[in-house]
Structure 1
């Protein structure tokens, strides 16, 4: 059985998880092969991809509620800018702590379970935030703790998603799934911003927390009731034991030894670079437009780039899976997608430091943002190629390091802007980080499994 995917051609044998069966195994039906490998059949995959898209959308809605309501809450509770920053920053500190733990738990018990449990938990916190705010006199402390807990619980989402993808989806279709999930995040950001403005004016800031928390809770309940409870998607103890006793077993010593392999540390480093530049653009883009084009409509530059990102992410995922299905090697496809995400996008970032019109600036940043989403089918999915047995834990480590490096680069950019009073250095720094990460990935990146013992690495032709 082709349990070890080592090239794009191998993935064709079982290329039916999302798009339907293509080739039947001579020893049985394709459904039997999928069940034995614990992969999703087509009908189940279609349901899951829709629900995971909605779940990612709600995740970002819940994440953006506090930033959207921060001004109203600061006025209501007499917060200073420092107080507001403390509350908002609590999320990111909590977000870093559970990345590895969530991924490791997903690798052991199945990503589906961790996703639903965490979603139900952060839904409860979101819905109860207004109650906590009015509960006592220590509102600032309560909100900071609430945001910290929100970060802790949401920190497991994407590592669990990476683990789930490596467990349930064939190699040639992971790019589209991850791209779809990331596009759901962009949609959630747009919905939170658009609906948030209306709800704040009509019903107050509390309504944002109540509605988002209730919707997220309903999502978790529906997934549990109709996709997990009593379904064939559940991991059985027998299946887990088989995984741990076979090629999936990985001791802590060998887990640490993964970082000695060039493709692994190149992937981690590139993901860190990509995350840090994305966080920096997201954080400082409104300030750039406000200072450079003070009379421009904020709605345009706060919406159009993220509207562009949604179809771009979906298109990038489709193209990557199509190239793999046509016989291109997985490693080549991952590098091509990352070339567009970090290299070509940087070509549209640099002109922002020059003397350009508002329309040109919007076009350039929208193009750069759209191209950057190609990382979803590049380095972001590469962890599932290299280490499917511990994809969740390793992706959690990558995400944690990316968040930390992002905080550093955002802070450094703020210092540079304050000292130089120019955006040229900031955009040059973003380009330098992108090009460095891209160069490392192109030079040392790969897509062959590295989590197997040397004596068990068998290429099935």
Structure 2
């Protein structure tokens, strides 16, 4: 299987594909309950507050693993962290029907455990570690001007959401709502086997990478933080993390603010769209699943499109990288705010509501070219830790937003109350977008690992293409 795939795709393309699928599962396990809960209403008498607790439970402890995830990924390698993180959380999904049958609080506890998911050995994964761990892989594998395109793999999360909604609707009709959770666990097992066989922490560890691809990465990464030095990754030196300078960095906190706005919008639309479409527009559960999934297909398609355009502009030197990150970040946040305002005033118009919902989620795909890529740009050496730090703050909307929606719509499912929900979300996007447009600057920060000297770069370019292979630590 591995040789067959490697013969058709480069090692980098295989990594992109499996990362894409991994992020799809990462979000499938988060959102499968969002559609299942619509069908569960007929069996469990949970009010809006109880449903909000169930929907937000995943994020209660999820924040606590973000920074440790980035640190552990640097120590033992993102292959292990990302792989086991996804697998273990998805396997726990199979217990959701049992927990729901006990009590809604048991299901809340299970969802919180999925967000945290502590395994006895420190080398096993926490689900909250998945996202920051992949930024470590990005820094090792992807040259600066290719990062937008590679990070679009993270938007596989939207495909996971998009497929989960309609497929779950079909599964509910055929097999009942518990089948949703069993299918998630089975898919995770298949993905993990492929991930473990085909993915390696660093190009120099890959046994099937071609000499030409290895040399391509070696030459192009040497100019960015000397990721390669004399044919070896300097990441193994593991310089001490400059915590004080990171925590007092204006650019770090501007990206935190930008991601807060993005995650609030996405969390609100991701978790509440099924309930909104069912209660306000009266769609059947099958249509709810379909209409809830379409926006996330749009988000992924938009990410794939704009990331390739962005990387093309960088390679042709039409635009400077920091300016591209600034334009992408501020533009999609302001566009999200405008579209959410439109959604809030769409009332009971099915067509207008659907169009605004799809567009508001779709433009969020520019996250790949904006703040996610900017975190790697400002600090290739500590990007996994930075992503973990930003996610500590940005997981908060995951449980604050459902609580706000529950409070606003409790026994009052009306267009007016949902208008308030969407206008609050619009404000959460507009403010960070405007602030980043004024103050954002995604240049490499002085506290990051010093770049290679000209002599180091010249030496690396003179190195002959290295023979692939070698299974060092953290493969």
What's the TM-score once normalised by structure 1's chain length?
A: 0.77
Point out where structure 1 has 5 or more consecutive residues left out of the alignment. 1-41
SS of residue paired to 1:448: coil
What does residue range 419-434 of structure 1 map to in structure 2 within 5 Å?
421-434=416-429
SS of 2:395 mapped into structure 1: helix
Q: Distance in 1 between matches of 2:335 and 2:199?
A: 40
Q: Write out aligned runs for 1:188-337 (5 A).
A: 188-228=160-200, 232-233=204-205, 242-243=234-235, 245=237, 249-251=239-241, 254-290=242-278, 293-294=281-282, 298=288, 301-327=291-317, 328-337=319-328
Task: Describe how 1:75-90 pairs up with structure 2 within 5 A.
Answer: 83-90=50-57
Q: Which residue of 2 aligns with 1:98?
A: 65
> CA separation of 1:142/1:358 partners in 2, compared to 1, >3 Å: closer, same or farther?
closer
Aligned mates of 2:180, 2:161 — CA distance in 1: 13
Structure 1: distance between partners of 2:297 and 2:233: 44
Give secondary structure in 1 for the equivalent of 2:441: coil
Report if the CA contact (8 A) 2:147-2:311 is conserved: yes
- 1:369 aligns with 361
**Aligned: 1:150 with 2:123:** no
Distance change >3 Å, CA 457–CA 266, structure 1 → 2? farther
Write the distance in 1 (CA, Å) between the matches of 2:196 and 2:293: 33
Q: 2:437 aligns with which of 437, 442, 460?
A: 442
Residue of structure 1 aligned with 2:388, choices 377, 392, 396: 396
SS of the residue 2:313 aligns to: helix
Task: For 2:110 and 2:406, locate their aligned partners in 1 and report how far apart those are by CA, in whole Å.
Answer: 27
Unaligned 5+ residue runs, structure 2?
A: 1-8, 117-125, 208-228, 459-475
Q: Is the 8 A contact 2:90 2:184 kept in 1?
A: yes
Contact 2:331 2:433 in 1 (8 A): no
Pairwise CA distance, 1:230: 12
- Compare the two structures and name the one with the higher helix fraction: 1
Mean CA deviation greater in 223-232 or 329-338: 223-232
Does 1:167 find its partner at 2:167?
no
Structure 1 residue 289: Cα displacement: 4.6
TM-score using structure 2 length: 0.75
CA displacement 1:197-238 (0-9 Å, x = unmatched)? 222232233332222212201211222123349984479xx9
Name the stretch that deviates more: 364-373 or 300-309. 300-309
Q: Cα distance 1:104–1:272, how it changes in 2: closer, same or farther (>3 A)?
A: same
The 1:304/1:330 distance shift into structure 2, 3 A limit, reads: same
